[in-house]
Amino acid sequence: MRQGLGLSVPGSALSRRCLLRAGSLGAFGLNLAQLLRGEAVSASAVPAVRSCILIFYYGGPSHHDTWDMKPNAPREVRGEFRAIATNVPGIHVSEHMPHCARVVDRLAIVRGLHHPMTNHNAAAFATLSGRPPLKGDLELLGNDRNDPPCLGSMLSQQLPPRQDLPTFVALPHVMHNVVKLPGQVAGFLGSMHEPFQVLRDPNAPDFRLDELELPGDVSLDRLEHRESLLRFMDDQRYAAEQAAGLRGLDPYRAQASRFLRSEAVRRALRLDLEDPRLRDRYGRTKHGQSVLLARRLVEAGVRFVTVYDHETNGQLANWDAHQDVFPRLKNDLLPPVDRAYAALIDDLDGSGLLDSTLVIALGEFGRTPKINANGGRDHWPFCFSAILAGGGVRGGVVHGASDKLGAYPELDAVTPADLAATLFDRFGLDPTTELRDLTGRPYRLAEGQPIRALFGS
């Protein structure tokens, strides 16, 4: 197996994509200009994606102990875990990822991702927006309303809305690290492009969104009457806000009232309608059921869903393993993620959604090559891994390589800006398209280059 572009692409996946390609363009909503742009860019271009699921592992997973193991490195680098074979010859992953090991033929493992941000807040902003924060690494605490937007908000602004469907959903919580973690908001794009935020545990027996439930004495007809009055009041308030230089202070109520009318949204949130055996395959955990909910949302037509893994209230609640990294990975962190991720890939593939749904999984950075005195690994943004699947990805591919210690990229280095450009490119958008902030300053959708070697036949 060659590092860099990779050689192992399962023939069955390619033949299936070829069969689907001819009939898929209309369903993906491509117009002629987008098609011509795509064809001009690359002769091997594949149809644009319909949706994306971004899974974000807050705290920084250790790439050395998951997707980029170093079995020949000194013990203080290679750690305690054994590397196991996957279903693609030459590619190995951690022994505590057996479910992921059997779906590697449908994944692209990017092993040279890097950026310079060493603290969680700045690193999260960099990975979730595809660009460095305006403030320095250790200076960034929270978002400013004139900050560049996160990826989902940019897609919300660029893609045509679908009636009664949110473009961008985030779940199952908002991430906090002292303050609301940067990189989750629409920034200068304003509140209308904020995510529709799910704030309840999808694994809870009584999971529901109260915002999308009508009171028992309110019919849709009565709601329409109430909404006409509220709309008039909103118009008056909007005029006052504009005069005061403010924008959209309460988008959530407006979104919720619109989605009340959407049977697709309400049905997507009904996890109790799923086959219990499928729910078991994802894992009866907050993360497992969140990933399943993301699949239901893209199936309903939502374009971008972010799943935040693990709470941010203290190191023991997330991937920030400065101590006891191996028992935490083995017993707490890897099992639910391993099960849920593999189930998602199988589920999307089995339902015919994998070709039109791009799945991106990553954290804000990796961990230090050398294990510290507390048996943990510290922050390390200079080399870590991201995993892509679906959306035309060439499965069974390793893109790039880290050095022998997993400390720095050695081949085909990739930045968050490149991942962002790849995402927009796969949606048929030109990454060089300019947005302007509240002061008129221009920003491209992405400053990087699409990683087109990961796609096509």
The three-state DSSP-derived secondary structure of 134-176 is CCCCCCCCCCCCCCCCCHHHHHHHHCCCECCECCEEEECCCCE
257-271 pLDDT, tens digit each: 666 567 888 899 999
* Structure confidence by residue, pLDDT tens digits, 309-337: 976 555 557 999 999 999 999 999 999 99
Rounded to 5°, angle at Cα 288 from 48 and 114: 55
423 and 431 Cβ atoms separated by less than 8 Å? no
pLDDT of 448 reads 98
Q: What angle do CA 376, 381, 386 make, to 5 degrees?
A: 95
Say which range, 1-5, 56-60, 99-103, 396-400, has the weakest mean pLDDT: 1-5
> In the chain, what percentage of residues exceed pLDDT 70?
77
Q: Which residues have C-beta within 8 Å of that of residue 103, sequence separation ≥ 6? A: 87, 341, 342, 345, 346, 389
Domain 11-208+282-454, CATH among 3.30.365.10, 3.90.950.10, 3.40.720.10, 3.40.50.300:
3.40.720.10
Q: Does 172 sit behind a cis peptide bond, omega within 30 degrees of 0 on the bond before it?
A: yes
Asked if pLDDT for residue 22 goes beyond 60, the answer is no
What local confidence, expressed as pLDDT, does residue 362 receive? 98
Least confident stretch, 68-72, 260-264, 349-353, 444-448: 260-264
- What is the reported pLDDT for 27? 33
Give pLDDT tens digits for 41-73.
443 456 789 999 999 999 999 999 999 999 999
Confidence of residue 76 (pLDDT cuts 50, 70, 90): very high
**pLDDT band, very low/low/confident/very high, at 384 (cuts 50, 70, 90):** very high
Over residues 347-353, the mean pLDDT reads 97
pLDDT over 90 at 8, yes or no: no
Length of the chain: 457
Cα 52 to its chain centre, rounded Å, is: 7
> Could you tell me the pTM of the whole model?
0.83
pLDDT at position 163: 79
Q: Is 19 a residue whose pLDDT tops 90? A: no
- Residue 38 pLDDT > 60, yes or no? no
Cβ neighbours for 399, distance < 8 A, ≥ 6 positions apart: 4, 5, 6, 108, 109, 110, 111, 112, 412, 414, 451, 453, 454
Q: Is 410 helix (H, G, I), strand (E, B) or coil?
A: strand
33: left (phi over 0), alpha (psi -120 to 50) or beta: alpha
- Taking alpha carbons only, the member of 350, 332, 337 closest to residue 282 is 337
CA 220 to chain centroid: 34
Of 137-146, 162-171, 198-207, 402-411, minimum mean pLDDT range: 137-146
